[in-house]
Amino acid sequence: MSKFDNFFGAVLNAAETVGGKAARDFLQQATTDSEAFKQQAEADLQTWTVARANNEITQDDFDSLIRGQWAEAALAALLKAQFAGQKAADLRDQIIKTAISAAITILL
């Protein structure tokens, strides 16, 4: 096996390890966040529906609360996308550092 084969094998193994961990972490966080948002949204909607049925809030108030909930969800999604972009950049940087380290260790 040549030094280049060793180098590419080391980089590939590191990328698989780092990338797999990043994917698992992202999936776990997304699942947790989604479930928390769902539970809060369901509780809010139930509260607002009861309040509307009891004429404690107007239809305009109810509609405004629903629009606010949608806006909150959209903002959270945008923030998550920005965070995911930063994590992808961090992952790229880790792979580059690993490749440089492997090149120095194996090829030189």
How many whole angstroms separate alpha carbon 88 and alpha carbon 80?
12
Write the CB contacts of 96 (distance below 8 Å, at least 6 apart in sequence).
none
Q: How confident is the model at residue 103 (pLDDT cuts 50, 70, 90)?
A: confident
pLDDT tens sequence across 78-98: 888 888 888 888 888 988 898
Report yes or no: 14 and 98 within 8 Å, Cβ to Cβ.
yes
- The model carries a pTM of 0.65
pLDDT tens sequence across 2-61: 888 888 888 888 888 888 888 888 889 888 988 999 999 999 999 999 999 999 999 999
How many whole angstroms separate alpha carbon 68 and alpha carbon 79?
16
83, two tokens: 């965070």
> How many structural domains is the chain composed of?
1
Range of the structural domain that residue 18 is part of = 3-107
